Structure 1
Amino acid sequence: MDFDSCEVVEKDPTGRYSRYDEILGKGGLKTIYKGFDEVNGVEVAWNRVKIEDVVQSPQQIERMYSEVHLHKSLKHGNIIKFYNYWVDEKKMTMNMVTETSASGTLRQYFKKHRSVNVKVIKKWARQILQGLHYLHSQEPPVVHRNLKCDNVFINGNNGGVKIGDFGLAIVLQQPSAAGEVLGSPEFMAPELYEEEYNELVDIYSFGMCMLEMVTCDYPYSECKNPGEIYEKVISGVRPVALDNVDDPQVKEFIEKCLVPASLRLPASELLKDPFLSAESPKELVSSSLQSPNLIPKQVSLPQSESHSMDSDKKKISVGRCTRSMDGAPIFSTQEFQRFTENKEFTLRGKKKGDNTISLTLRIAEYPCGQARNIDFDFYLDSDTAVSVSEEMVEQLDLSIKDAALIVELIDSMILKFIPSWNSEVSSIRKANEPKLELDAIDSHYLQCFQEVLRRREEAIEDATKRWLAKKISAM
């Protein structure tokens, strides 16, 4: 890449995100440029769409914004992250900043690297299904409706894949004319054409993605036009490529995804399929980490260490210990772990004095393999598990569910060192101290300020919607 391609040509209204002139790709009605997040120092994808191409009525404006908000709310290790959006009124464009992928789309990747064995395809399949399971578990369920390998992105450095171009791919479409159906016909379930469907249409598309991974070609490539594909799909005729799949287990798994909707299994059940089971001890450990329940950690313990686990298998404690003069064990280091659907939380602690516990929190995301370590001191005379977790949520972009889990871990850790410690009693007792009173005041005004910002954003958005509606009416 030459020097000119690194020149910044545009910035977002906040000045945080920069856009380069380098095009990463084009899809449907949007152009994707390389961008840069100056706060975190990472590359991003800057998606730009011309509003006049996607919105022709006030109702579509509302739908566009609702889908943007939906995408921004989704947080999962196998879903492309959505960072920010805004409308450029001068250029009449909608701009969206999302996570970028190091190696492009999954289709680009396996077309480039054709010698991929079945074990790798299983790994990709598990990750896609984990993303779909997350989407389908939302209330109400989020249906992608355009899943294909062109909309799945991969990091070639660690093999992690993420689903992208959902939600917005539905909104950012021109209104369908009579007889037209939105999406890619090769990957569309028969019931989509009847417009009565549920989230299981994504499972059908996933099956076609599997076929695409195995054959490195689009399903129904033997057809000459979309109309011919449509006739075969609604008639239940399978792609010719399916007959060319030599591995009977692979073929059987794909066929499970292509059965009629009433017989089709959800993502949660397909993840349990023997075909996707791990094949090595390392894979077994990695696969077990996807369970929302706690899995015992495999550790090698010296003689001076103990390994205990609660009967409900929701917590484990691993720690080194010494013995006091009366023979009672005194733990010097402790470790607790919890697992969510796509994260592993490990909290290690060591007492530094009468009032301080040194803690290290490790958050690992699966299956992408990314991990963060946060070192901090917990002061028994001033900190609470809730206050510490709130700071982490703000700084690390964690969910409320993650925060609750961190609170539980910290409380468990403190109680292990100090069985008589009570976080609620401690908080009440400290409430009369000047420092905590000031902190409470700061927290209150921060909440008020955040509420003002939220209302300001809503007011700006409402004003933009009214302005767009007038513009559209004048077209």
Structure 2
Amino acid sequence: MPIINNGPSDKEPFVEVDPTGRYGRYSETLGLSDASKIVYRAFDKEEGTEVAWNQVKLGNLSDDDPSMVDRLYSEVTLLKSISNEHIISLFAFWEDDMNNTLNFITEVCSSGNLREYRKRHKHVSLKALKKWSKQILEGLNYLHTHHPCIIHRDLNCSNVFVNGNTGQVKIGDLGLATIVGRSHSAHSVLGTPEFMAPELYEEKYTEMVDIYSFGMCVLEMVTIEIPYSECDNVVKVYKKVCSGVRPQSLNKIKDAQVKAFIERCIAKPRARPSAAQLLKDPFFHELNSEDSDFKVLVMV
């Protein structure tokens, strides 16, 4: 398809174009996933829509952690194989041998990640928080009932993205996700410490670790505080999690229903409900009612 261009001065200021010529990358960054991955604003010339251009410097990763390269390829392959309205969509990916980078194009959520979005919007009703929570659960339910089952393993509010104009949220960053067989069990220790279920450290776990992380996401959404922020290092977080000590922020929640819902999510593995069961929880019943709940959720 020809690209309309009115002259040299009107040419789009792309810094880089993909091998097909369809996607153009701008210099503006949308965020840093980690030290090696940068997310740029980009444009899909065929659809006329903005997209995210994720660029990973493979040289840094292969030197520091060769397994990370494999995990990144797993992420893009995994994303390409799944489709759900609450999971970030992948459109294309390729390796740039000259610059030693892996590039992949994903949909972009207009308002960034849920952590920053919640910080910007402190006056949010309980009904809105429940809507976000339900959408995350719908994404998890899709992953967990996928054949084979997919465990995210690094669910937290910085890996959930928001379209603020519609209130839609989507799970992203599946770089640590793993596909498991019929046993639904996995064995490697990966994730973000404050959101990791205790059994993750024991290296034998199921998709229920994502439910634990989801509970911690709800806690952060409600309190606008990262769980275990009272700890000043990862070791202290690890000790508290493995000892069953709950985050101090859980005590700030006034609403008994909200607190009980979070506690169900972060219970012992066998006591945790599945994503499908949680979607039927009374916690979400009011979403179909016109009488929304605007109660204050935390101590101030």
Q: Give TM-score scaled by structure 1 length.
A: 0.55
1:30 aligns with 2:45: no
Confirm or deny: 8 A CA contact 2:189 2:203 kept in the other structure: no
Tell me which residue corresponds to 1:11.
Answer: 17
Q: 1:170 to 1:78 in 2, by over 3 A?
A: closer
Q: CA deviation at 1:113?
A: 0.5
Q: CA deviation at 1:282?
A: 6.3
- State the AA in 1 paired with 2:57: K
Alignment of 1:138-157 (within 5 A): 138-157=146-165
Q: CA deviation at 1:61?
A: 5.5
How many residue pairs were aligned? 271
- State the AA in 2 paired with 1:27: S
Q: 1:125 to 1:257 in 2, by over 3 A?
A: same
2 CA distance for matches of 1:98 and 1:140? 23
Q: Deviations over 1:318-371 (max 9, x none)?
A: xxxxxxxxxxxxxxxxxxxxxxxxxxxxxxxxxxxxxxxxxxxxxxxxxxxxxx
Tell me which residue corresponds to 1:43.
Answer: 50
Q: CA deviation at 1:223?
A: 0.4
Q: Secondary structure at the match of 1:65?
A: helix
Report which of the two structures shows the higher radius of gyration computed on alpha carbons: 1
RCO higher in 1 or 2 (8 Å CA, sep ≥ 6)? 2
1:80 aligns with 2:81: no
2 CA distance for matches of 1:280 and 1:138? 27
1:115 equivalent among 114, 123, 128: 123
Q: 1:244 to 1:62 in 2, by over 3 A?
A: closer
Unpaired stretches in structure 1, ≥5 consecutive residues: 172-179, 284-475
Q: 1:16 to 1:201 in 2, by over 3 A?
A: same
Q: Deviations over 1:116-166 (max 9, x none)?
A: 010000000110000000000111211111101101001111100000001
Q: CA deviation at 1:71?
A: 1.1
The range that moved more, 59-68 or 229-238, is: 59-68
Tell me which residue corresponds to 1:354.
Answer: none
2 CA distance for matches of 1:96 and 1:280? 38
1:125 equivalent among 126, 133, 141: 133
Alignment of 1:389-408 (within 5 A): none
Q: Deviations over 1:258-310 (max 9, x none)?
A: 00111111100000000111344569xxxxxxxxxxxxxxxxxxxxxxxxxxx
Q: Secondary structure at the match of 1:98?
A: strand
Q: CA deviation at 1:36?
A: 0.4
Q: 1:249 to 1:281 in 2, by over 3 A?
A: closer
- State the AA in 2 paired with 1:136: H
1:94 aligns with 2:102: yes
Q: CA deviation at 1:68?
A: 1.9
- State the AA in 1 paired with 2:45: E
Alignment of 1:365-444 (within 5 A): none
Q: 1:95 to 1:158 in 2, by over 3 A?
A: same
- State the AA in 1 paired with 2:242: I
2 CA distance for matches of 1:92 and 1:208? 37
Q: Give TM-score scaled by structure 2 length.
A: 0.85
Tell me which residue corresponds to 1:190.
Answer: 198
- State the AA in 1 paired with 2:205: Y
- State the AA in 2 paired with 1:34: R
1 CA distance for matches of 2:156 and 2:89? 18
1:21 aligns with 2:24: no
CA RMSD of aligned residues (A): 2.2
Q: CA deviation at 1:181?
A: 4.7
Q: Secondary structure at the match of 2:93?
A: strand
Alignment of 1:299-378 (within 5 A): none
Tell me which residue corresponds to 1:222.
Answer: 230
1 CA distance for matches of 2:285 and 2:60? 45
Tell me which residue corresponds to 1:103.
Answer: 111
Q: 1:60 to 1:222 in 2, by over 3 A?
A: closer
- State the AA in 2 paired with 1:42: T
1:53 aligns with 2:45: no
1 CA distance for matches of 2:142 and 2:278? 13
2 CA distance for matches of 1:269 and 1:149? 22
Q: 1:239 to 1:80 in 2, by over 3 A?
A: same
Tell me which residue corresponds to 2:298.
Answer: none
Q: CA deviation at 1:58?
A: 8.0
Tell me which residue corresponds to 2:256.
Answer: 248
Tell me which residue corresponds to 1:264.
Answer: 272
Q: 1:256 to 1:242 in 2, by over 3 A?
A: same
Q: Deviations over 1:386-426 (max 9, x none)?
A: xxxxxxxxxxxxxxxxxxxxxxxxxxxxxxxxxxxxxxxxx
Q: CA deviation at 1:60?
A: 6.4
1 CA distance for matches of 2:88 and 2:69? 23
2 CA distance for matches of 1:23 and 1:64? 20
Percent identity between matched residues is 52
Q: CA deviation at 1:55?
A: 3.3
Q: Secondary structure at the match of 1:83?
A: strand
1 CA distance for matches of 2:177 and 2:257? 33
